[in-house]
Structure 1
Amino acid sequence: MKTLVWAIVATAFSAFGLLLSLWGVDDRIIAKFPWSAPAVNLIPIASLTMLGLVFALFIVYLIVALISTIYIRTSSSLQNVTSVACREEDLPKIRKIAESEIGQVSSEEDTLALYRRNKQAFRKIVDTKTHEIIGYFCILPLTSDGLDRVKNRNLLEPPIDVKCFAQKFRKGADVYIGGIAGVGPRGKAGAHEQLKLFIVNKNFVTAYARPMTKRGVALARENGFKPVSENDNLVTGVYAYKIRSI
């Protein structure tokens, strides 16, 4: 409110200064008091400068207000969304979401084997009001063998070797994002938000992924993913990407 008042006062003052100039008041003042010419001539310049500053501040205010509104709406839409470790009976639902949103997914046998290797790796995105599963993500800690296979782009060549993945998470680990998807805009936003929170909370150093869609590639770029090899391009089909240190 104070900012608005000051803006109104500054605008009024600037407009008043310009009006004095337009009405020729400044010329009459100079004619009567020649010694005041340097100061009087500065009035239009000062008025225009102040109007410019007020306009610039107004634009900044609009941008900040727009960003705040978007943030509040996004935060509000996700305030009842959380991630929970999947149960084995959740896997069919997770696979259905993945097949619908991504297309190609691991076989049921491989999915089950990966789940039993690390039951904390599969996270369902849940609406806490309806208890509905609206998305998921899978993030697997890599062993040294798994990291080597990521860099050689053959981590997921069938049959999947579960020994490439650790059975527990540890701080500073290298991890592989096995999949992420959500139902509708809220599910997608919730899945990506919860994945970021999970990575930060677990204090992982490096994450790898293989985007399977154009949207996935776009998200990889937006989040700082880079090709593992300098000779690779960040396009669909390239195997793995390395995200900058967190």
Structure 2
Amino acid sequence: MNPKNFLPISITCFAIAGAFLGFYALKPETITMLPEWLQTVSFFSWIPGVVLLLAGFAFLILYGVGLSAQYFLKNCKYFDCRKANEADLLKIYDIATDLYDWNVSPLETMKKWHSHNKTIFWVIEKTIFSDKKKIKSFEGYFCVIPMKEEAVEMFLKGEVTGATMEVGHIVPERRKFTDVYIGGIAAYSNSAKGYAMLGLKQYLSFLMERGVCRVLTRPVTPDGMRVAIHHSFVPLGPNADEGNLYQINNH
């Protein structure tokens, strides 16, 4: 039922309640002029008056709650984190090139990674309820690459980077691994960025519970450096500049 319908019902209840209570409040000399049956009705008229008055308030509250609920549902939005599908890869590539501008893996390489292991890319999606419809939009992503042991050694020597990593360096899906590389995290808004960070932290905690002991990343922006240091990443080597390799400090 449309909550706007409660307002006229509430007004009608108030009006009728006012009539009953007004009848009850008549002066004694006026009541004595009425027929006996109306005098009896007047004496008990406060009861339906009070009931209708309370009903009017109840419908007024329902009207307010209904409008608030409508507004909330119309303007409600929430973020969700899910595994990326192939159609998401172009969006991931676009946001990565928009925000990082360089050192981004080619789209075809990303497709090969995704085909090899579908747990690498994760999408941050926003859902908005508008006019009884759910509208979903891509808001960001994060990337966590499970690496083979020999690939880690090449990575630490600088022979391989996140952008040049090949399928042969990546552990296939449903295989055990102990080393991962955070290949990127990006979002269009601060709220989506916060949810992306939350999703990444939860996913890393999940992996660590299952045996992952080394998490590597390579911040390429000042904001990436700030976030890495804030989350206990330390540089591997004497330099702590952008573009250098960092590892999470679990101690």
Q: Which stretches in structure 1 are left out of the alignment for 5+ residues?
A: 1-78
Matched, 1:235 2:241: yes
- TM normalised by structure 2 equals 0.61
Task: Show the counterpart of 1:126.
Answer: 125
Query: What is the CA RMSD across the aligned residues, in angstroms?
Result: 2.1
Matched, 1:87 2:85: yes
Please state whether the residue corresponding to 1:131 is helix, strand or coil: strand
Q: Which stretches in structure 2 are left out of the alignment for 5+ residues?
A: 1-76, 129-134
Question: Would the alpha carbon gap of residues 157 and 94 (structure 1) be closer, same or farther in structure 2, given more than 3 Å must change?
Answer: closer
Please state whether the residue corresponding to 2:118 is helix, strand or coil: coil
Matched, 1:137 2:142: yes
Task: Show the counterpart of 1:163.
Answer: 168
Correspondent of 1:180 among 179, 185, 188: 185
Task: Show the counterpart of 2:198.
Answer: 193
CA offsets, 1:41-98, max 9 Å, x none? xxxxxxxxxxxxxxxxxxxxxxxxxxxxxxxxxxxxxx92221111111111111111
- TM normalised by structure 1 equals 0.62
Please list, as runs of the form range in 1=range in 2, the aligned pairs for 1:19-168 lying within 5 A after superposition: 80-104=78-102, 105-129=104-128, 130-156=135-161, 159-168=164-173
Task: Measure the CA separation in 2 of the matches of 1:176 and 1:220.
Answer: 13
CA offsets, 1:180-222, max 9 Å, x none? 1001111211111110011112223221011111111111111
Letter of the 1:118 partner, please give it.
N
CA contact (8 A) 1:182 1:190 kept: no
Task: Measure the CA separation in 2 of the matches of 1:158 and 1:89.
Answer: 20
Which of the pair has more CA radius of gyration? 2
Correspondent of 1:216 among 216, 224, 232: 224
Query: Mean Cα displacement is larger for which, 124-133 or 166-175?
Result: 166-175
Task: Measure the CA separation in 2 of the matches of 1:166 and 1:86.
Answer: 17
Task: Measure the CA separation in 2 of the matches of 1:159 and 1:169.
Answer: 23
Question: How many aligned positions are there?
Answer: 165
